[in-house]
Structure 1
């Protein structure tokens, strides 16, 4: 397995720029992400910011509409960033991509971050937001019976956990989950965590740092709401799973896709062998990012059409 040439160009550039997660405070990382967020070239019919009720106060959300059509399907999106960084701006392009390519309304959730709000605060916000969307279709002018969840990295973790929780709540019927290089196992040191420990944007040390900031106790790591791979996955919603060959999280994402399949869940999983963690939204410089975006969009559109 070789690193994609376009991926190497990006990683070399980042290495030369001195970009690193190491030795930074959460505030410094958040500030850095804000400075590097690039405007998206994708135009949509409307993008609206508002708040919705949450377990600890109002939750900021951003609503992306690809058209003015009524009754579009809806995807609730959770951003990545190790539960510590990321916001509505950092994943704006990703949300525009999904709204445009999957022809659905996207509701992006600005959940509480650690260490100010540790586990399970992010899950509590993610579930509350999804439940609100599922029960406010008329207010949102969407078809809430065609509801999906999606997210990348830590956001993929939240999407997976929310999808699992929904099985116990008849009023929240999720028909598709889109998991983009998700965190699924906080406890297991799988081979890819060592093989891809450094040099591929997300490092093993960075993951340890994220876990330290998000957890309250070491027991959290084996909680199914933290590590969904420890859940019984029978009856989980259909899933599209994207993993990357040069990602420390590769093996846990692959293992989660395999466990979903074993549980009888409909799974569309592709490992993009020459890619690294974070590649999905880098379509300006990575042709393979467009392939992954199309994979996710096709899975969502197929689910919405059933």
Structure 2
């Protein structure tokens, strides 16, 4: 099965000097205040990660931040690089082994899609635990295929039914469209879980990047709307701040596959106006996070969003939330779904699975 994919393409180093982080919005304190460092953050990549980055460079994608959204969505991506490594090295990768995949539309919502990853031979009497999974893509690019590897790994390793949620993209659907419909998807899954053979009392939420933000926001909505709360939340390299002036957004400004100008480009297409930057759904570090279930935050060392994870962890802890934080060295943004090639991805997935199983009450 072709995986078309992971967020975020290779950004040419020359684009860093010319990219406008907020091209559609007024000047604001979210614009980086310091010059980007001359050193290459990706020099810190471990051998597995360096192999993926070399494959990505060979695919020659254009800098995302220089493109219109439609063209950006068609660029080769980090997941295409993974597929290239798998093919070149003749790796026997079987992401769907032991799983049955199916798609459906939100019956209550029209065109948005759910993709189900369930253990083979499960049926309506299986009473499976559930993982609601939100993909990344900066709310502008990517699709369910892009993050197929992550959803597949979670299903294989937990034995749960993983439901990967589609959501509307900006700029066609600006903030808060994705946030609102993520919550509606969660409600829809709760409503129908028993009929599908799943256990709605054992439900976890996992998300990557923009989806890591949606995971926390959906848990907040469950608290505020008196819905069944998730038993665990795993937020992988989340977007947690609207500021581009954080330590990692300066230190890793030219990183690949995600760089700091790309973050500005995403926000410029997502936000309606400057005021949206301070909305606590985007600026999670200003949100009321009290009363959330246990949250695990996973970060990559070579990632402009690393500081977002740090700040989110501090905000969660200050709110009294049971919080676990894990940083993986030598890897970049998007590494979590690269388990076929990157050893640290397997480690991170196993750690996430352990945290989720604790929530399910099934141990490690």
Shared fold, TM over 0.5:
yes
Question: Equivalents in 2 of 1:161, 1:14: separation in Å?
Answer: 32
- For residues 17-72 of structure 1, the C-alpha deviation after alignment (integer angstroms, 9 at most, x for no partner) is 333323222212222358938585332342111011456x3421111102416111
Residue 167 of structure 1 aligns to a residue in which SS? helix
Aligned to 2:95: 41
Q: TM-score, normalised by structure 2?
A: 0.79
Answer yes or no: is 1:32 the counterpart of 2:86.
no
Larger RCO: 1 or 2 (CA < 8 Å, sep 6+): 2
Runs (4 or more) in structure 1 with deviation over 4 Å come to: 37-40
For residue 167 of structure 1, what is the aligned residue in structure 2? 223
8 A Cα contact 2:99 2:155, kept in partner: no
Candidates 60, 64, 81, aligned match of 2:117 = 64
2: CA distance, partners of 1:106 / 1:238: 19
- Using the alignment, how far apart are the partners of 1:225 and 1:257 within structure 2? 16
Contact 2:220 2:292 in 1 (8 A): yes
Bigger fraction of residues in strand = 1
Secondary structure class of the residue paired with 1:197:
coil
Match runs of 1:69-218 below 5 Å = 70-218=126-274
> Any stretches of 5+ residues in structure 2 without a counterpart?
1-40, 84-92
Residue 172 of structure 1 and its aligned partner are, at CA, apart by 2.7
- Say whether the 8 Å CA contact 1:33–1:90 is kept in structure 2: no
Rounded Cα–Cα distance in structure 1 between residues aligned with 2:57 and 2:114: 33
C-alpha distance in structure 1 between counterparts of 2:108 and 2:317, whole Å: 33
Pick the aligned partner of 1:269 from 311, 325, 336: 325
Q: What is the TM-score of this pair, normalised by structure 1?
A: 0.93
Within 2, Cα distance between the matches of 1:187 and 1:106?
32
Match of 1:17 among 59, 65, 71: 59
Which of structures 1 and 2 has the bigger CA Rg?
A: 2
